[in-house]
Chain A
Amino acid sequence: MHELAISEGIVESICEAVPEGKVLSVTIEIGQLTGVVPDAVHFCFDACTRGTRLEGARLDVVDVPGRGRCGSCQREQDMSELITRCACGNPFLEVLRGQELRIRSVEVN
């Protein structure tokens, strides 16, 4: 359940970055290749925000699709999983996108 630590990280970062006001909503990006389950983050977020300025805030998750480049044939392609084999046979793609775990913005009152 690393999603609990991720939710704690969200709350902690926002409390530091936005020193006052009630947080109404939070938008985060979760890359498809991070292994982080957005639904579990939602679940933990509700628990972690209790008793903080984020209590009751809405969590919007932007899913960032995976994208990689083959080191052998240089072709860029979508990656829905960390293990994606290139059509040329190379089993390793260099990940270009999809490993994001970012807080994009917050809406504060």
Chain B
Amino acid sequence: MCATCGCSGTIALDLDTGLAAHAHEHEHEHEHAHGHDHAHEHAHEHGHGHAHALEQAHEHAHDHENGPPYVLDHRHMHEDGTAARTVQLEQEILGKNRLLAERNRGWLESREIFAVNLMSSPGSGKTTLLERSIRDLATQLTVSVVEGDQETRLDAERIRGAGARVVQINTGTGCHLDAQMLGRALHELQPEARSLLFVENVGNLVCPALFDLGEAARVVIASTTEGEDKPLKYPHMFRAADLVVLNKVDLLPHLTFDVERFVAHVRLVNGTAGILHVSATRGDGLAEWYRWLTARPARNAG
């Protein structure tokens, strides 16, 4: 669904022009009171000059060339005689996501499904770790997977090949999963009661940190082929983690990656998350990973 207008279809953002390229047409009744075409390619200024709290360059700043027919005073009359009113909302911007996440959480908990939100940068070995985990846990646990990627069903096919039921969500231009997407995926997947559900988020260490999905735990996967400073560069993500998995430790003899430095960096942003050192290909540390998954730890409040 298009979150902008509520109709079906996806919203795509043209980063060159800043225009939302809607894949669909709408009938709109609104009028352009100040008659400009909103093609934001022109450089312009706000005629009414509001101050931004942060001094940042607005490459896209608007120019309502003819000036909007109102001023900044919140109790005023317009030129056409209509009054503007100020409505106090005091609403969480992500309030709807939070609500839907709690709904997912309640649904999952009522079925005793342990849902793990897996987040990492692209190429950390998330899907390889999942494939291996599904195979190794097959005799103990039913595992299903919600796979989030911007494009393709390649990862979903790998997961299915490993023997788990999977639903793929392609987010298109979206850089993270949100609670509504997970809710739909759960409806389609119908994971078994008392099973383990992996939610493989879009490979990205920034955006997913902000969106609660209703998961029971958050796992951040980093790998030895990335820098030791990832926790410092992406503190929001590492702070939100219940567990940090350092993957590809089998490659350490060939790399300059300093494990102790990495752990110290994790500890600078997160004092409580567990830290596991694993190799999804060679099998190091996987016993501990499976113990963590089957122990179903409670989520860290931070």
Contacts and interface: CB of A to CB of B under 8 A. Distances in A.
Interface of A: 1-2, 4-6, 8-15, 17-18, 22, 24-25, 28, 34-36, 38-39, 42-44, 46-53, 55-56, 58, 60-63, 81-83, 91-92, 101-109
A106 to B, nearest CB: 5
Contacts of B96: 9, 12-13
A4 B173 CA distance: 10
Given A2-B210, A11-B4, A107-B84, A28 B93 contact: yes
7 contacts: A8-B11, A10-B93, A13-B89, A48-B4, A50-B22, A61-B54, A104-B88
B20 A50 contact: yes
Contacts of A2: 175-176, 206-207, 210-211
Contact of B92 (A11, A36, A63, A102): A102
Contacts of B175: 1-2
A60 B50 CA distance: 7
Contacts of B128: none
Interface stretch (B56-64, B153-161, B213-221, B253-261): B56-64
B48 interface: yes
A109 B82 contact: yes
B8 interface: no
Interface of B: 3-6, 11, 13, 18-20, 22, 26, 28, 30, 32-34, 38, 40, 46, 48, 50, 52-54, 56-60, 62, 64, 68, 70, 72, 74, 78, 82, 84-97, 173-176, 178, 206-207, 209-211, 232, 235-236, 239, 267-269, 271
B19 A50 contact: yes
Contact of B207 (A5, A50, A91): A5
Contact of A101 (B32, B50, B92): B92
B64 A56 contact: yes
A52 B5 contact: yes
Contact of B40 (A46, A62, A63): A46
Contacts of B93: 6, 9-10, 13, 28, 101-103
B36 to A, nearest CB: 8
Contact of A5 (B57, B64, B211): B211
A55 B37 CA distance: 11
A46 B62 contact: yes
A82 B239 contact: yes
B38 A56 contact: yes
Contacts of A109: 70, 78, 82, 84
A51 B90 contact: no
Contacts of B68: 24, 56, 58
A107 B70 CA distance: 11
Nearest to A94: B302
B27 to A, nearest CB: 10
Nearest to B235: A82
A12 B56 contact: no
A97 to B, nearest CB: 14
Given A4-B13, A58-B50, A50 B38 contact: yes
B3 A9 contact: yes
A78 to B, nearest CB: 15
Contact of A51 (B22, B78, B235, B271): B22
Nearest to B62: A46
B52 A82 contact: no
